[in-house]
Structure 1
């Protein structure tokens, strides 16, 4: 058995990434799309970002050896940070909110992660702003702590360059990338590299209803892991050719349909990505579509895949099968699946107004 004589042991980090691509059938007529299956990599998709965030900080001298790492998360990045920080010899403090699933709390406890739990949403910025406010307090009282700042740190996007290179080796050609958007990191990182190889790549962003990212008003969101009540600077608006907003009803249906058809299951981001990718593949049969399934099902067994939980929230009603279309992002508040082929930075729009 191998002894650990140092607080840092990076032997597991080589298992981050290196994930397969799978063909996902979208209908019975042969339409489908490619999905990068990040649940097959240690720590899921966001372990890539976590490794890049901490390595970048260490190389610049911003992260001292053994210093605590403090970050706000709805859950998924926290898994990646716990893995990477432990391997590099850093304790982790995660600022989470009261809607974090019990299974995730238990997992973080098993990992030895300290949780700071926010009990109330910010009146305008929702859970994210409330978590960031608490994070500021934690940083002020934790000597030497480092905040990766996933929303505004370019190292986030840089962490996905290797994923893009893997995709180029795995797939002959792609016409459309469908990417869910939360912090903006994985879409920015993939687009930057993939468009060098495939200059005509069309990029479709997938957001949540009730998210501010693409110019809709912020509202309470059932879905976690995509969407935002703040405007992350990692979102590169010129990269996107169109945006879709999806709701929890159609996303639950999408998650369950993919699971039943393929025995591949994932969470909110996976269901949202599958919904839009399948729609594009069926609407444009000659188009080669790629997306990313960020994680697996285990976090969601008591929510998305639990009939009682979904029924209580009215999520098992028949979903819509086509997106409504709006001309501009602020034309109307969307309440369910919708798309817009005009993409602009809401912060720039507010300034110009």
Structure 2
């Protein structure tokens, strides 16, 4: 029996979608990451019960950190994106977390820069705050060790390809790193939105929306670019089609980034049918009911979609592009400056 709901919320399920296509389905994936990070900080004395943990979030990590703080007896302060929705805001309030939400903005870079500036201002005012640095601190990798063990135990010695949103790098990158300890041939396929600097698509604008949570307009120190074999850039229209098909065909109700990853996973399985492909479903589809699933009649047949094959970061184009990244280093705009990785003041 679990001692806290965060354990149940963070535990993933493996669901077979098709022959050699597996869904690693989470209710809220970052709960694992946040809980393991907080437990580690407490065990090492970096924080103590009653301290306040601080970070920036577009929604999912905010909820995850609030649950971890609730479980371990800490306070939680979130500088939230303009995209944090009413359901998350309400849960944060009831859980006792303090949310500062940025004003409305259609510019993801402006939204993220505002959040970073606010974090630094808060740390200057009160150095006792502990900045979790979900985008930079490797402590957020720890939670995926148990997931790797689960995947390996369930799928045995099959040749694996892992597909999922890149995000802060602490999910796909960490999971692939743990899997490769026993299965070095595991391939990693990262999914990105257009407009993200992480893999060099910042010059391509998606007229609909940048898919929050899997890309960034600022560099993330947790992304280990050399771990990625392939990168897919997916626009809103293609991701919507993937999300709707995943629900219609397999009854898996998951977020927009999962729709993008599902498209990429099907494509990778087609290219290399001898491998088992595991696609990460990072969260449920509830926050996309109005923006994605209510528009299900706009979904294109996914068999009609195919990515543009490009070299490196040259020429990615809507609605979907793919490149053999082959462990290349970070592009210039994704390289993190030393000041971005400075650790917060701790005891």
Which TM-score applies when normalising by structure 1? 0.84
Long gaps (5+) in structure 1 = 1-8, 26-30
- 8 Å CA contact 1:120–1:130 kept in 2: the answer is no
Give the drift of 1:121.
5.5
Task: Give the number of equivalent residue pairs.
Answer: 328
Distance in 1 between residues matched to 2:308 and 2:161, nearest whole Å: 20
Kindly state the Cα deviation for residue 348 of structure 1 after the two structures are TM-superposed: 8.6
CA distance in 1, matches of 2:6, 2:89: 23
- Taking the TM superposition and a 5 Å limit, the aligned residue runs for 1:220-239 are 221-239=209-227
Structure 1 pair 306–102 and aligned structure 2 pair: CA distance change class (3 A)? farther
Paired residue for 2:40? 56
Using a 3 Å threshold, how does the CA distance of structure 1 residues 318 and 289 change in structure 2: closer, same or farther?
A: closer
Contact kept? 2:197, 2:333, Cα under 8 Å: no
Q: Report the Cα distance in structure 2 between the residues aligned to 1:198 and 1:268, rounded to whole angstroms.
A: 29
The answer for the alignment partner of 1:336 in structure 2 is 319
SS at match of 1:107: helix
Aligned to 2:243: 255
Q: Say whether residues 1:21 and 2:6 are aligned partners.
A: no
The offset of 1:302, in angstroms, is 2.5
What residue number does 2:341 align with? Answer: none
Aligned equivalent of 1:191 = 176
- Provide the aligned C-alpha RMSD in A: 2.6
SS at match of 2:130: coil
Other structure's SS at 2:293 match: coil
Sort the Cα spacing of 1:94 and 1:349 in 2 relative to 1 into closer, same or farther, 3 A. Answer: closer
The equivalent residue for 1:4 is: none
Which residue does the alignment assign to 1:204? 189
- 2: distance between equivalents of 1:161 and 1:46? 13
The answer to whether 1:282 aligns with 2:270 is yes
Please state whether the residue corresponding to 1:199 is helix, strand or coil.
coil
- The one of 230, 245, 249 aligned to 1:242: 230
Structure-2-length-normalised TM-score: 0.86
Check whether the contact 1:217–1:333 (CA below 8 A) recurs between aligned residues: no
Among 77, 99, 104, the alignment partner of 1:93 is 77
